[in-house]
Structure 1
Amino acid sequence: MPNHPTPSTFDADAARRGSEARGRFRAGAPAAHTSGLADDLVQANLVVLPRDWAADFLLFCQRNPRPCPVLAVSDAGSPALPTLAGDLDLRTDLPRYRVWRDGELVEECADVRALWRDDLVSFAIGCSFSFEWAMRAEGIPIRHVDLGRNVPMYRTNVATQEAGPFGGPMVMSMRPMTAAHAIRAVQITSRFPAVHGAPVHLGDPAQVGIADLSAPDYGDAVPVEAGEIPVFWACGVTPQAALKRARPPLCITHAPGAMLITDLLNHQLASH
């Protein structure tokens, strides 16, 4: 895992804005997704599992660092991740959660305090919204952000490496780009391995088992215009596909696109 600042070294303005964003969600403010919101701050995917399942899931992440780059892991029972945010409460501070039982999605909700247990271990996994900030800073347009939509995400035929009961297909997110922008995007995102790094596929979606770009498995469809190619990144929704196979008795995740907003600045995750 990357070395993050301690709470005492967080940028004060970033910490204030992160706290304000989380506070809105804690108060029940609705949000379909967090793409484009506080976009210079690191956002993260969330997976919460019983302690008996945590070791296998951590191994799954270590074996699949592109879709599952681990930013932080909590102590059992703790709703805090102090290396990511000073006042974070994982039970309330995301806009929407998903609740899974025996591998089946049973509920989406805005608060999981009633489900919290002393044996739950939380994983924060890097999110591509961080490298979107870096691309937009260099003038590369991001179609779903410009349209106010969630990023389109697809289950693919690319298999993850198994660990215990966890395995299954890699999920990829897609952004349409011109060839010139795609080349620059590879250069930019390769500096951010903690948030999925460089693309894993460019071009023909059929080569990774995607039959129809207009029908994403998660998120919202966006048009691919003439002269553009679809560019695919490994996606942090991959663990949700693995959960369906592993079938833990309880798991809590973020709803796709409704991320944990931290107090870290995106540039702090750059490898060089």
Structure 2
Amino acid sequence: MNALEANLTTNAATDLSALSPQALRREIRSGHSPGPTAGYAPGFLQGNLAILPESYAADFLRYCMNNPKPCPLIGMSEAGSPLVPALGDDLDIRTDLPAYRVFSADGSYRSLVDLKEVWRDDLVTFVLGCSFSFEAAIERAGLPLRHLQAGRNVPMYVTTLETKAAGAFHGPLVVSMRAFKPAHAIQAVLLSDRFRLAHGAPVHIGDPAQIGIKDLMQPEFGDAPVLEPGDIPVFWACGVTPQAAIANAATDLAITHEPGCMLVTDIRTDAAEFVLGAAYFDATAGTTNAA
């Protein structure tokens, strides 16, 4: 077992899913990681990560504004600072996610459990909302989320839908999928629509081939889905989308989360629209997602 695999193994002596966001981040910081964070700190906003050199920050901010469904911006740091105080007083971007992907200019990446060795004074952090944040509302409504029941990461797929480019940033829309019985699918759509900072309502329902997914059992990211007869697949915009855009931009250094391994913030999901939303929705007024 290598260091990354060891870090993604839950400490059996601690029920990390029951911890507050602050306590969970402390556990991750000390090496006790949950791996994928779906189902952890329910009721609190989780975030995808994108870290870029300051020279690319303006273009990436425009990319987020152009594509608010896959890239709902919930936090941004000052250049060189590992802190995003609006999301958590003690939060340190370098250590508080279970695992990171560090990209080179050729698009290759390596996985790390912290960023201490690669951190630079010109790096700007962007935190983007995550669909894990609306899953608690779906569960409270009594709708089964089969990936959680099976202890799996949510399946994620690269589609043939293109996002709207900004500068060097461009690429396909990535979606996450949850399967439901028809009546439950309708409820899930209505529930998720309330959480616009967590991708909001789905971007597609039904036939995966219509958005370029050839095999539902072979996701590009996450784990294979758990499907039952009569299920309808429901697809949400996914925060892995910027990874393709960042790879296409060929920056000398870029950092994201490992798919499913999110930043857990101190912001309650049911209050996020009021705490974080006003400035974001003012900034994105009139923008649309190409997908």
Q: What TM-score, normalized to structure 1?
A: 0.92
Is 1:106 matched with 2:118? no
Within a 5 Å distance, the mapping from 1:114-193 to structure 2 comes to 114-193=117-196
The size of the alignment, in residue pairs, is: 257
Return the match for 2:269 from 252, 262, 266: 266
AA paired with 2:51?
Answer: V
Give unmatched runs, 5+ long, in structure 1.
1-15
Residue in 1 aligned with 2:205? 202
What is the CA–CA distance in structure 2 between the aligned matches of 1:80 and 1:138, rounded to whole Å? Answer: 35
Within a 5 Å distance, the mapping from 1:245-256 to structure 2 comes to 245-256=248-259
Residue in 1 aligned with 2:15? none
What is the CA–CA distance in structure 2 between the aligned matches of 1:159 and 1:140, rounded to whole Å? Answer: 31
Task: Tell me the CA shift for residue 30 of structure 1.
Answer: 3.2
Identity of aligned residues (%): 51
Deviations 1:153-212 (A, max 9, x none): 000001100000111100000000011111111111111111100000000000000000
Task: Tell me the CA shift for residue 270 of structure 1.
Answer: 4.7
Return the match for 2:233 from 230, 234, 238: 230
Return the match for 1:97 from 100, 107, 114: 100
Aligned-residue RMSD, C-alpha: 1.3
Q: Is the 8 A contact 1:175 1:230 kept in 2?
A: yes
Q: Is the 8 A contact 2:180 2:234 kept in 1?
A: yes
What is the CA–CA distance in structure 1 between the aligned matches of 2:252 and 2:85, rounded to whole Å? Answer: 27
Task: Tell me the CA shift for residue 29 of structure 1.
Answer: 1.4
Once the two structures are overlaid, the 10-residue window that deviates more, 30-39 or 185-194, is 30-39
AA paired with 2:75?
Answer: A
Residue in 1 aligned with 2:83? 80
Residue in 1 aligned with 2:38? 35
Q: Secondary structure at the match of 2:87?
A: coil
Q: Is the 8 A contact 1:201 1:233 kept in 2?
A: yes
Deviations 1:20-59 (A, max 9, x none): 1001111111332111111221110010000000110000
Runs of 4+ in 1 over 6 A off after TM superposition: none
What is the CA–CA distance in structure 2 between the aligned matches of 1:18 and 1:119, rounded to whole Å? Answer: 28
Give unmatched runs, 5+ long, in structure 2.
1-18, 278-291
